[in-house]
Amino acid sequence: MKILVYANESVGSGMTVGEFIDSVKAIYNKYFADSECVAQNLKVLGMEYIGIRWYLSKDRSETAHNIRENDMLWVAFNIDLEDTTENGQVYEVTIYDNSSKNARPMPDTITLEVMQKSYLTSPEDKYMAYGRRNLPYRKTTGTPQKILDTLDKYAQKLHASLEADLASGVIHPNHQELVRAKL
């Protein structure tokens, strides 16, 4: 199968997709050492992207009913692996072997889009089971290093927000022990 990938004058940023994914995981684990960051190269309908999902829990056993999606964090990002800048040049990449897709170079310019950006809190309304704290975020476009710096700042803000909410009693009692253990 052949797909078109856009890049500036050079073929890549000097960083491979696998190195970028490893850096994303290291950044998250710098602030949440005993939590899990799932970052992977995915392919849907012929388009490749990097999917990033941050969990406060380390594995399913720390979540309600052992369901991974019951984690209190709802933070997820997507990075399209196409450079669609006006100066981009088209070059063909043939992908037959999925095991080598992380060895490909990252494009010079990528866009980090947020898919989910909140975590569960105590409810504001007595009829609700949980509340939700949204963390501000804007779509960011830049070099892979700029995106890594942005993710670092976002993980730092998430950590500070969880600490502040835990100290002020905003974290739901079902999650307080987990948050204390992870911070």
Whether the model clears a pTM of 0.75, i.e. scores above it, the answer is yes
The secondary structure element, H or E, covering residue 182 is helix 173-182
Long-range CB pairs of 175-178 (<8 Å, 24+ gap) are 175/56, 175/72, 175/120, 178/56, 178/57, 178/62, 178/72
Write down the pLDDT at residue 154.
Answer: 93
Write down the pLDDT at residue 106.
Answer: 82
Pick the CATH number of 2-182 from 3.90.1150, 3.30.9, 1.25.40, 3.30.70: 3.90.1150
Write down the pLDDT at residue 82.
Answer: 63
At 151, the amino acid letter reads L
What's the first-to-final CA gap in the chain, in angstroms?
Answer: 45
The helix/strand/coil state of 79 is strand
Residues 6 or more apart from 164 whose CB is under 8 A from it?
A: none
For the chain, which residues make up each domain, given as ranges? 2-182
Q: Going by DSSP bridges, is the β-strand pair 110-121/131-134 parallel, antiparallel, or unpaired?
A: antiparallel
Write down the pLDDT at residue 92.
Answer: 42
User: Are residues 16 and 102 in contact, defined by beta-carbon separation less than 8 angstroms?
Assistant: yes
Taking the C-alpha atoms of residue 89 and residue 117, their distance in angstroms, rounded to an integer, is 33
Write down the pLDDT at residue 69.
Answer: 83
Task: Provide the residue-wise pLDDT of the chain in tens; the chain has 183 residues.
Answer: 444 444 444 445 678 888 999 999 999 999 998 888 998 888 777 677 888 999 888 888 887 888 878 888 889 999 887 644 444 444 444 444 445 677 778 888 888 998 888 888 888 888 888 878 888 888 888 899 999 999 999 999 999 999 998 899 888 888 888 888 888
Taking the C-alpha atoms of residue 147 and residue 42, their distance in angstroms, rounded to an integer, is 18
Write down the pLDDT at residue 156.
Answer: 94
